[in-house]
Structure 1
Amino acid sequence: MKFNQLVVAGLLYSSASLANAASSNSEFVVEDIRVEGLQRVALGAALTYIPVQKGDELNTFRITQLIRSLYSSTHFENIAVMRDGNTLIIRVAERPTISNIIFEGNDDIKDEQLQESLDGNNIRVGEPLDKTVLTSIENGLKDFFYSIGKYNADVTAIVTPLPRNRVDLKLLFEEGDAAEIKQINIVGNELFSDTELLEDFELQYNTAWYDFLSETRYQQQTLQGDMETLRNFYMDRGYLRFNVDSTQVAMSPEKDGIYISLNITEGEQYTISDVELVGDLLGHEDFIEKVLPLTPGELYSQAEVTYTEEYISKYLGRFGYAYPTVTTVPEINDEDKTVKLTLRVDPGKRIYVRRINFNGNTITADEVLRQNVVQMEGTWLSNSMLETSKNSMSRLTYMEEVEFETVRIPGKDDQVDVEFNVKEQPSGSFNAGISYGDQTRLGLQAGIQQDNFLGTGKRIGINLSTVSYQKQAQLSYTDPFFTIDGISLGGTIAYSEFDGSSFNVIQYNSKRWSVGGTIGYPIDEFNRITFGLTYSDIELSNRGYYEQTNRFYEQFTNENNPDAPIAYTSLQASAAWSRVTLNRGLFPTAGSSQRASFSITTPNSDVNYFKTVYDARFYFPLTRNQRWSVLTKLRLGYGNGYGDINGNDQILPFNENFTAGGADTLRGFENNTVGPRGIRRSSVGNSTTLPDGTVVPGDPSNDTIALSRRSLGGNAMALGGVELIVPTPFVEEDSSNSVRTSMFIDVGNVWDTEFDYEEYAQLNNGTTGAELLDFSDWTLFRSSAGLSVQWISPMGPMVFSFSRALKERDGDDAKFFTFNIGQTF
C-alpha cells in the first residue's frame, strides 16, 4: 500500500515536471540520459535500474516503468523525471544511510532480539533507511508488548540527520507496567471446581506474597498454553467432546488489570471399546500389542493415546525407521459413549546414517567425541542410540551443551547425516584454597587439573602445594578410552608430608609416598566398575599421646625409644561401582550419581584394614527449563581392621579416619573439626613412691582426662543434605550453566564405633569448659543451613558459602563464611 502511494506520488511529480516539456505530445526519442543527485550510488549501478536506452522512444507508460524500477532498487527516496529537448533528465534523492542504531528503554526485549527484527526489515547499520517501514516496526513492537500485558507501552522511532546524508536511528521504548490478572473465570464447569481446573494453569491471580513462582502477568501465549492444559485435563479423563466455546479477555479502564473468562462445554465420559493396529508393523505386532497402554473398557485418555503413538514411533526408530507415521483414528459412538481407536502405522523407509559430524568443538578432537557415540556410520539410524550418545557426551565435564539433528541427504530418501552441535566449557581447573583459622592460620594451596588435555579427552593432574599443614606433590593420569570398548586405565604417583596439628586434627606428622593404578570396565551406558591397586610407604612421627591412637602406635613402637618414628607399608586393593545418569557433567539439574567403593589391604601388608564408602546425589527438576531443581545427597562410610598382631585385634589406622566439616561435607563448620576428639589420660598425683624408690600406681579410677581442641576423626561417617537450586539473580539465562546458586541444609556426623564411653565417663575431666561426649554415639549429629554460590571461572570452579550452624556440639568450631577454588559439590 505504502509502496504504491510512493509510486503514485512519483508519477504525479513526474507528470508535473514533464507538463511544460511535453506540452500536447509527451512522446520523444531519447538522445541522451542524465542522472543527477547521485552521492553514494554509482552511476553504473543506477543505470542498471533504468529500462531506457539512447534511441528508445519514451512515452508516459515507459516513464511509469522507469520510476517503478528505480524505486525497487531501495536506494532512492524521491525521483523526478524531466525532459530538456531530447535529453532525459532523472533527478534522484538518495535514501540516507544508517550510521548507528540505538535502543533505549527496552527491558523486556533484548537488544539482540530487536536487531533480529530490524534485520528482517533490512534495517541495519550501513544500509539505506526506508522510512516507510518504521511505522510498521513501531506497531509490531507495540503488538508484542500488548501480548505480554503491557497495554500502556509506546514505541517511537526517532531519525536524526547527520552530515553526508547519514542518520542515527533511535528506538525509544516506554514499556510501562504489565497488567496483572485480576480474575480468571471458567463458565460451564459442573464436574470440577475452578480450583481443580486452575491448579495447573501457569497464569495465576490472587497469589500469596511468598509464591514467587506464579505468573500473574497476562501473556497471550501463556493463556493459549493454559487453554491447552485445560483441554488435556478433560481429554485425559475421558471427556472426548470437551470444547472451549469462547474466550473473553477484558481490560480495566486504567489498563492495569485483566479479567479472563473461559466458556466451556464439558460433555460426557467415553470409554474405549476396541483398539486395532493396522499397517506394517515389521513383524513386531505381538510385542507392540502386549505393551500397549490402551485397553478396552478403560476411560479414554488423550495422554495415553499420544504416549502410544510416540512409543510405537520410538520403537520402530530402534530398527532404523526414523520417520514413521502413527495416526490414531477415533470412531466415536455417542449412543453408548464409547470410542474405537484405530492406530494406522506407516514405518516409511529404513534410514541409514551416511556421516556423523561434530560442530562447535574448537578444542576437543572429533575422535574424542566419537568415542562416546554408539551410533555407527553406515548402519541404520537408531533414535535411542542417538539419545544415548548425546547423554554420554553431556556427562563429560568439558561439555556445556550437546544437541543433535538429522539432516536428509538431497536425492536420497533413505540416508541422513547426523549433526552433533556441542558447546564446550573450560575443561581445566586451577585448584586453589585459602583459609584462616585459630590453629591453621593462613593457608594457600594450588594445583592444575585438566580433564581434556590438548583436546584428547585424557585427564592429567599435577598438584604441587605447600600449606601450613601439608607439602604435596602428585601426578595423575587417566585415559578413559584406553581401548575402543571404553576400558579406562589410569595411574597416580604421590608424595606428601602432613602436619595434623595444623589441619584441625590431633598432633602427628606423616610422610607418605605411593604409587597405584586403576582399570575400569563399562557395564552399560550408565554403570562402570573399577579396580585398583596401590602401594604405600608411610612414616608417622611427632606423635601425640592420645588414648585412641596409643593402641595403634603400640603395634610398632620401639620400647627402647618410644618417641621414635614408626613406619609401615601396605598394598591396598580396591573395587568400585558407579552409576551416573546426570544430564550434565558439571552443574547437573536432573538424574543421579551413585558410587560405592571397597578397599582392603592385602594380608601381607604391615597393617590390615578395610574401608567402604557410598556416595549418592539425586537431582529432581521442579520446572520444565530445569532452572529450579532439588538436590538430595548422602555419603556413608565405615572402616575397621581385620586380623590381629601379637594377639591384639587390628584397628583402622587413625590417619585413615573419616573427618567432616568444610565445603564438601558440613558447611558452617571449620574444616575437619566435627567428630571425636583426642583424649589424654593422666595418673599424675595418684601414684605413691615407696622409700626404696619404687613407684606404686594409684587407683585408675582417680585418673584425669583432658580433651584436645582438635578432632581425631572416626571410623564411621554419615552425611546428607538437601539443596534448592535456584536461578542466580542478575545472571543471564545463557550463563546459567556456569553459575549456580542454591539454598542448603547439611546434616551429619563422624563417630568411632570402637570408643568405650564407660571407660572414661567416671574420670575427672580436667579440660575447662569441654564436655566428654560419647564418641561412639552416631546420633550426635550436626546440622547447618545457608546459601551457596558456585561459578565455573577460567581458573576452575569457585565456591562461596554463607552458612549458620543449626545444631552444634561442645567444642565445635562454627564458621559463617567459607571460600574454595577448585571444588564443586
Structure 2
Amino acid sequence: MKCKQLVLVALMAFTSLSFAQSKSEFVVEDIRVEGLQRVALGAALTYLPVQVGDELNAFRVSQLIRSLYSSTHFEKVEILRDGGVLIVRVAERPTISNIVFEGNDDIKDEQLTDSLEGSNIRIGEPLDRTVLTSIENGLKDFFYSIGKYNADVSAIVTPLPRNRVDLKLLFEEGDAAKIKQINIVGNEIFNDEELFNIMELKFDTPWWDFTSETRYQQQTLAGDLENLTSYYKDRGYLRFAVTSTQVSMTPEKDGIYIGMNVNEGEQYTVSEVELVGDLLGFENFLSQVLPLRTGELYNQATVTYTEEFISKYLGRFGYAYPTVTTIPDINDEDKTVKLALSVDPGKRIYVRRINFEGNVITSDEVLRQNVSQLEGTWLSDPLLESSKASLSRLTYMETVEFETTRVPGEDDKVDVDFKVKEQASGSFQAGIGYGDNTKLSLQAGIQQDNFLGTGKRIALNLNTVSYQQSAQLSYTDPYFTIDGISLGGSLGYSKFDGGDFGVVQYDSTRYQIGANIGYPINEVNRISFGLTYANVELSSDNTSFEQTSRFYDQFRSIDDPDSAIKYESFLASASWTRSTLNRGLFPTDGSSQRASISVTTPNSDVNYFKLIADTKFYFPLSRNQRWSLLARLRLGYGNGYGDKNGTEQILPFTENFTAGGADTLRGFEDNTVGPRGVQRFTSVIGQTPSGTPIFGGPDQDNIIVSSRSLGGNAMAIGGLELIVPTPFIETEFDSSVRTSFFFDIGNVWDTEFDYDLYKDLEFTARTGEGQPLALGDYSDWTQFRSSAGLSVQWISPMGPLVFSFSKEINSRDGDNPKFFTFNIGSTF
C-alpha cells in the first residue's frame, strides 16, 4: 500500500506541476477515455469527478487520479489535454485467471484461499500487484513464527492473452529450527525438571518420543511462559515474574537456544476475602459458597474460578455481562494478601429475538421446541446451555453453537443466534445387501428422524434376510403437544426362522400393532407408556428341548400334539429415560439411562413380564474430547406370572435375551452366547424275547446338548470403550467416523434351569456334530464371556457401518468366537 501511495503522490505532483507550468486551468469541452478493455465506458465515467463544462485545474486533476485508482480497476492512469478535450488514458489491471499454490505443507490450500480473498485476491477479480508484497511478507512472518527461518514465499505472475494473468504462490518452507537447549535461571524452589514437565516446548528428547514438540514456535513459547507463571501463582508465589526471555539462533538458522530469567518471590497467604459492589441481595449466599478461603495459600486458579463462578451465578438471573474484578492488597511484611472481589452486575439483559442459522431442512419451529430460553424473558446462561444440549442431542444435528448479539441502541437487550449444522437423519434403501450374519438380503424402506423438517420420526421397512421376512411401519411425533408430549404408533409383521438366526430351531409368525405416549419430566428426564397387541403362531415343537417343551405344553392340543400353537397378548409397558449426552450420534460426554418394565395384561394368553435397564457414561479424556472413555452396562430379567391350566407360567422362549454380535458381545457369533437347548431321551437297556425294547429308568436317560443357544431370562452385559481419534481423518469428520478400542463382558443365563436334574446323565452327540457338548449350569450367572478388540463405525451414505476386529478372552464350551464382523444399518 505504501508503494501505491508513493506512485499516486508522484503522479499527482507531476500532473499538478505540468498543469501549473502550462497554465492548466481550462474549461472541459469534451472527455475522452482511452485504453478500456473490460471496464465499460459508462462505468469509467462514474469514477471521474469532472463533467463537460467544469473548469479543470491541478487540484481537480489530483482528485480525478485518486478517484480512478480507488476504483481498483486500473494500474496506470495518465491525464492529457488536447485543447479543450480532457484525455484520460488508462491501463486496466489484469484479471486473475487462475491461482496455484506449490510447495505448501504447513498451510492448507483452503487457508491460503481464505487469506487471499480477505485481500480481494480471487479468480475473476482484477489483480492489485501492490498487495502481493504484503502477502509474501505476511506468509514469511507466519513461517518464522513456527521456527522455519529459511522459508521463502514468492508470488509469480504470468501474463496471458486478453489482459489475464496466472498467479502462483511458490513456497520453499525448509526445515523448522529445533530447540537445542532451554535454560531457566533464578529458580530455586522448583528444579528444572519439574518446570520442564509443565512446558510444551521440549529439547533433547529420546528418539522414540514422537509426541514432544521440539521445533520452536513463538506462540507455544508464550503459552509456556503463562504456564510457568500459573504454576507458581497457583502455589502461593504471588510476586512471581518472568523478568526476561532470550531467544538466539545458530548461524545456520536450524537451532534455537531459549533462556528465561525468573524471580520466584515468596509464598503469600490469603488473610481476608471481601465482597464489594452491588451483589443484588446475594451477599450471604455468595460468601458461604465462594471457593476462596482465608488462611489458605494464594491460588491464582482459584481466584479466576471464583470470578467466573460469580459471573455465571449472576448470569442465571439475567445479568449476562457482569464485571467481577479481584483487587489484591498485598502485605509484604507478613506475606499475606487481602482479596477484594468488586462486583458490578450491570443491567439485567432481556432476549429480544432468538434466531436460527444453518437449518436448511429443519424448520425453526422444531428447533424452538427444544430451546428452553424464551424470547421476552431475561437472558439465562444455564437456559442457553441447556438449549444447546437439547438441540445437540437431536440425531439430525451435527453441531450446535450460539452467541449473543447486543441490539443496537438498546443496552439491555440481546438477540440469541443459534448456528446449527444438520446431518443425515434417515436413509432410503432399495436393493441387495450382504452381511456376514444376514447373508443375502433384499430390502426396501425409508427411515427419517426428521420427516420433511418437522422433527417427526417415520419409518417404513420391508426386509427379507436369511432368517426373517418383515414389514413394519412406525410413526412418532415427539412434540404432539406444545408441552413436549410425544405420541406414536406402529404396525408390524414378521416371519422368523430361529435356525438361521443362530438360536435353536423354531419358526414363528407375528402380527402386532401398538401405540405409545411420552411425557417430559424435565429437560433430561422422560417417561413413556405403551400398549402393544400381538398375535403369534409358533411351529410345532420338533426339537423337544427341555426348556421349550415346558412352554409348548401349556398350549399343546391332546388331539393334535404336533400342531402349531397360537396365542395372543396385550403387552403394557412403562419406561423412564434420562440423557445428558452432548450429541445424539457419537457422543463424547455425558450419560444416558433407560429403565423399562413390560408386562402382559391378565387377559392375555401368556402372562409374563420383562425388566430392562441400560446405562452409558462418557468421560472425556482431552479438552477437544477426541479422546473419551465409554462405560456401559445393560441388565435384563423376565419371567412368567400366574398359572395356565394348572401349570406355572414362564417367560416365552421367543422373548428370551440373547447375546453375541455387534450390539452386545463382540468377538462372538450373533446370538450364540447363553444357555444351550437340552434334549432328554429314555435309554434302551435291552429287549424282550419278542423284540420289544426295554427302557431304563429316568436315571439311565441320555441327554443331547445343542450347539445352538436358546437364550435365557436373565442378562448382564457391560464393557469399556476407549474412543480415539481416527487415523488420517480430520477433526470435522469426528461426527461421522468413530474408532475405539473395546473390552466387552457379559452373560445370559436361565434362572429356571435345574442343573441337578441332568448333571449325572450320559451325554450323546447329535448326528454330524462330532464330540458331544458338555452340559453347563445354565442358571449360573458367573459364567461370563469377555472379548477385546478394535471397532470402526462410519455413518455412510448407505447407512451406519460397523467393522469390528475382536479376540475372545474368556469363552465357554460351545461358544463360537469370531475375529471379524461387519454390520450394515445397525443402530447406534
How far the C-alpha of 1:10 sits from its partner, in A, is 3.8
- Which residue matches 1:469? 467
Determine helix, strand or coil for the equivalent of 1:374.
coil
**Which residue among 783, 797, 817 is the counterpart of 1:794?**
797
| Distance in 1 (alpha carbons) for counterparts of 2:659 and 2:446 | 25
Counterpart-to-counterpart distance in 1, 2:443 and 2:46:
72
Q: How far 1:69 moved relative to its partner? A: 4.4
Contact 1:351–1:380 at 8 Å: present in 2 too?
yes
Mind listing any 5+ residue stretches in structure 1 that lack a counterpart? none
Secondary structure of the equivalent of 2:783?
coil
Distance in 2, matches of 1:587 and 1:140, equals: 39
Distance 1:388 1:212, change over 3 A: farther
Cα deviation, residue 499, structure 1: 0.9
- Stretch of structure 1 that moved more, 362-371 or 643-652: 643-652
Aligned to 1:809: 812
For residue 307 of structure 1, what is the amino acid of its counterpart? Y
Sequence identity (%):
71
- Listed one character per residue, the Cα deviations across residues 9-68 of structure 1 (whole Å, up to 9, x for unaligned) are 54687699x6xx99x756463666544333233444445555666677767666555544
Output the CA distance in 2 between the equivalents of 1:786 and 1:221. 39
Pairs aligned (count):
819
Residue 378 (structure 2) aligned to one of 360, 377, 380: 380
Who is 2:509 aligned against? 511
For residue 566 of structure 1, what is the aligned residue in structure 2?
Answer: 565
1:577 aligned partner: 576
Which amino acid in structure 2 is aligned with residue 706 of structure 1? Answer: I
Quick one: which amino acid aligns to residue 122 of structure 2?
R
Q: Structure 2 matches for 1:552-701, cutoff 5 A?
A: 552-645=551-644, 648-686=647-685, 688-690=686-688, 696-701=694-699
Match in the other structure for 1:265? 263
The CA deviation string for residues 453-505 of structure 1, in whole angstroms up to 9 with x for no partner, is 12221212222222221122222222222222222222222222111011010
Q: What does the per-residue CA deviation read over 1:157-177, in whole Å, with 9 as the maximum and x for residues that have no partner?
A: 110100111111111223334
- Counterparts of 1:586 and 1:71 in 2: how far apart (Å)? 54
- CA change 1:750–1:215 in 2 (3 A) is farther
The code of the aligned residue for 2:142 comes to: F
**Cα distance in 1 for residues equivalent to 2:175 and 2:5:** 39
Q: How does 1:628-777 map to 2 (within 5 A)?
A: 628-645=627-644, 648-686=647-685, 688-690=686-688, 696-767=694-765, 768-769=770-771, 770-777=773-780
For 2:234 and 2:376, how far apart are their aligned partners in 1?
Answer: 42
Tell me the CA shift for residue 295 of structure 1.
1.6
Higher mean displacement: 496-505 or 99-108:
99-108
Q: What are the within-5 Å matches in structure 2 for residues 37-76 of structure 1?
A: 37-50=35-48, 66-76=64-74
Q: What SS class does the counterpart of residue 572 from structure 1 fall into?
A: strand
Deviation track 1:77-99 (CA, whole Å, cap 9, x = no partner) reads 33444555665544333221212
* Distance in 1 between residues matched to 2:377 and 2:369, nearest whole Å: 16
Query: Could you tell me how far 1:397 is from its partner in structure 2?
Result: 0.6
Q: CA deviation at 1:392?
A: 0.8
Question: What amino acid is aligned across from residue 639 of structure 1 in structure 2?
Answer: G
Larger CA deviation: 609-618 vs 175-184: 175-184
Structure 2 equivalent of residue 225 of structure 1? 223
Q: Which piece of structure 1 moves more, 500-509 or 480-489?
A: 480-489
Residues of 1 paired with 2:447 and 2:433: CA distance? 18
Q: CA deviation at 1:585?
A: 0.5
Q: Deviations over 1:560-613 (max 9, x none)?
A: 332221222333232222210000101111111111222223344333322222
What is the CA–CA distance in structure 1 between the aligned matches of 2:544 and 2:256, rounded to whole Å? 76
Deviation at 1:306, TM superposition (A): 1.6
Instruction: Report if aligned partners of 1:704, 1:764 keep a CA contact under 8 Å in 2.
Output: yes
Matches within 5 A, 1:493-512: 493-512=491-510
Equivalent pair of 1:28/1:86 in contact (CA under 8 Å) = no
8 Å CA contact retained: 1:547, 1:678: yes
After superposition, give the CA deviation of every residue in 1:270-317 in whole Å (9 maximum; x if it has no partner).
111111112222222221222111121122222222222222222222
Match in the other structure for 2:544: 545
CA contact (8 A) 1:537 1:568 kept: yes
Post-superposition CA distance 1:410-459 (Å, at most 9, x none): 2222222222221111111357995566x965345554322111222121
Displacement of 1:336 in angstroms is: 1.1
Deviates more, 1:505-514 or 1:188-197: 188-197
SS of the aligned residue for 1:761 comes to coil
In the alignment, the residues of structure 2 paired with residue 485 and residue 207 of structure 1 have an alpha-carbon distance, to the nearest angstrom, of 60
Aligned to 1:5: 6
* Partner Cα separation in structure 1 for residue 482 and residue 186 of structure 2: 64
Q: Is 2:159–2:165's contact at 8 Å kept on the other side of the alignment?
A: yes
Q: 2 CA distance for matches of 1:482 and 1:48?
A: 60
Q: Deviations over 1:341-385 (max 9, x none)?
A: 111211222222222222221211221111111222222221211
Structure 1 contact 429–450 (Cα < 8 Å) conserved: yes
Looking at structure 1, the residues matched to 51 and 530 of structure 2 have their Cα atoms a distance apart, in angstroms, of: 88
Give the 3 Å change call, closer, same or farther, for CA 448–36 of structure 1 in structure 2: closer
**Amino acid of the residue matched to residue 668 of structure 1?**
G
Aligned mates of 2:344, 2:306 — CA distance in 1: 14
Q: Is 1:822 matched up with 2:825?
A: yes
Distance apart, 1:521 and its partner CA? 2.1
Shift of 1:672: 0.8
Cα distance change, pair 721–451 in 1 and its aligned pair in 2 (3 A): same
CA distance in 1, matches of 2:487, 2:595: 19
Aligned partner letter, 2:331 = N
Query: What is the rounded CA distance, in whole Å, between the counterparts of 2:50 and 2:103 in structure 1?
Result: 49
Displacement of 1:630 in angstroms is: 1.8
SS in 1 for 2:383: helix
The 2-side partners of 1:515 and 1:114 are apart by: 58
CA distance in 1, matches of 2:673, 2:614: 19
Q: Which moved more, 1:465-474 or 1:177-186?
A: 177-186
Secondary structure of the residue that 1:598 maps to in structure 2?
strand
8 Å CA contact retained: 1:429, 1:797:
no
Q: 1:85 to 1:471 in 2, by over 3 A?
A: closer
Range moving further from structure 2, 315-324 or 259-268:
259-268
Question: 1:351, 1:131 → 2: CA distance?
Answer: 48
Query: Is 1:781 aligned to 2:784, yes or no?
Result: yes
Which amino acid is 1:494 matched to?
G
In structure 1, distance between residues paired with 2:213 and 2:786: 35
Do the aligned residues in 1 keep the contact of 2:641 with 2:649 (CA within 8 Å)? yes
Query: Counterpart amino acid of 2:396?
Result: Y
CA distance in 1, matches of 2:424, 2:679: 49
Change (3 A) 1:703 1:479: same
User: What TM-score do the two structures reach when normalised by structure 2?
Assistant: 0.92
- Choose which of 297, 321, 324 in structure 2 pairs with 1:323: 321
User: Letter of the aligned partner of 1:589 in structure 2?
Assistant: T
Cα distance change, pair 49–427 in 1 and its aligned pair in 2 (3 A) = closer
Secondary structure of 2:499's aligned partner: helix
Shift of 1:627: 1.8
How far has the Cα of 1:548 moved from its partner? 2.1
Cα deviation, 1:316-353, whole Å, max 9, x if unaligned, reads 22222222221111111111111111112112222222
**Unmatched runs of 5 consecutive residues or more in structure 2:** none
Does the 8 Å contact 2:402/2:417 carry over to 1?
A: yes
Distance 1:476 1:58 in 2: 81
CA distance in 2, matches of 1:384, 1:666: 39
